[in-house]
């Protein structure tokens, strides 16, 4: 695993953050050191896939990056006749994702087939789906497009289908938001990021990663038709939400 040193360079915060080859090369280390609870989210995605994926259906990993959530679903699914569609709009991510999926030595002989697709999730048709994952992806979608994306997911999910939505959020309380940001930056310092690296990455992500409040996410999911919504994981200002399409088994 290559170590993330992208923001050591003093000029690295001058340009907007991009999912290019340099990021793809160090992405596993970046996630491990930057997103608290990330490993737990992948483990739970696998557990949910075992429980909720229905026979003969499709599963989607929207904003798949290097395919970590795709692999979690693949290893968790036990229902027959399923397939996974992994989508990302960054060529560097897709190229590496295809290699990682092809080298998936943990896959069973009857492993679920995976289609790795270069494309925009805003234009992706979701159909016959029993599980959709957006793991820290919606925050990179233009705010004006987010309602339509979530609605399209809801419309494409079968009754009882599941959406896993993980996001960085803003706290409604400004004082608590400031505290949570400080705690998060301390977390990153403990993971060997310098104060300058943290500041430079924050500058590069400004207006690229645009977080929202938890209340905003809940309202959007409700408008899209998800009646059962729960936060199953929160670590500082990072959350993972489970939303279930009505009509399926309890």
Check whether domain 19-170+210-244 has CATH 3.40.50.150, yes or no: yes
- Residue 248 in this model has a pLDDT that exceeds 90: no
- Residues 147-160 as b/e (b if ≥16 CB within 10 A, e otherwise) read eebbebbbebbbee
- Residue 35 in this model has a pLDDT that exceeds 90: yes
Residues counted in the chain: 250
- Residue 238 in this model has a pLDDT that exceeds 80: yes
For range 84-100, the mean pLDDT: 96
For range 158-184, the mean pLDDT: 97
- Strand pairing report for 212-213 and 114-118: unpaired
For the purposes of burial, counting CB atoms within 10 Å of the CB of 181, is it exposed (0-12), middle (13-18) or buried (19 or more)?
middle
- Residues 36-69 as b/e (b if ≥16 CB within 10 A, e otherwise) read bbbeebbebbbebbeebbbeebbbbbbbbbbbbb
What letter does residue 79 receive in the DSSP assignment?
Answer: S
For range 71-91, the mean pLDDT: 96
Output the CA angle 159-161-164, nearest 5 degrees.
Answer: 150
- Residue 10 in this model has a pLDDT that exceeds 60: no
**% of residues, the chain, pLDDT over 90:** 85
187-232 tens-digit pLDDT: 999 999 999 999 999 999 998 999 999 999 999 999 999 989 999 9
């Amino acid at each position: 695993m290559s170590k993330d040193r992208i923001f050591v360079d003093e000029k690295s915060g001058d340009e907007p953050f991009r999912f290019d080859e340099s990021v793809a090369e160090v992405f596993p280390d970046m996630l491990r050191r930057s997103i608290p609870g990330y490993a737990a989210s992948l483990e739970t995605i696998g557990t949910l896939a075992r429980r909720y994926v229905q026979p003969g259906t499709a599963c989607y990993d929207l904003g798949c990056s290097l395919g970590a959530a795709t692999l979690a679903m693949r290893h968790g699914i036990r229902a027959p006749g399923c397939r996974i569609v992994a989508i990302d709009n960054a060529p560097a991510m897709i190229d590496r994702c295809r290699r990682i999926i092809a080298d998936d030595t943990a896959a069973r002989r009857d492993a679920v087939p995976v289609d790795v697709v270069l494309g925009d999730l805003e234009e992706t048709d979701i159909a016959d789906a029993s599980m959709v994952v957006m793991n820290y992806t919606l925050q990179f979608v233009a705010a004006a497009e987010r309602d339509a994306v979530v609605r399209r997911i809801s419309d494409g999910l079968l009754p009882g289908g599941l959406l896993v939505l993980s996001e960085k959020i803003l706290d409604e309380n400004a004082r608590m938001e400031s505290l949570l940001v400080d705690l998060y930056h301390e977390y990153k310092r403990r993971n060997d990021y310098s104060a300058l690296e943290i500041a430079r990455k924050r500058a590069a992500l400004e207006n690229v990663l645009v977080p929202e409040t938890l209340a905003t996410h809940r309202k959007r999911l409700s408008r899209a038709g998800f009646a059962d919504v729960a936060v199953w994981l929160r670590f500082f200002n990072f959350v993972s939400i489970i939303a279930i399409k009505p009509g399926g088994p309890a």
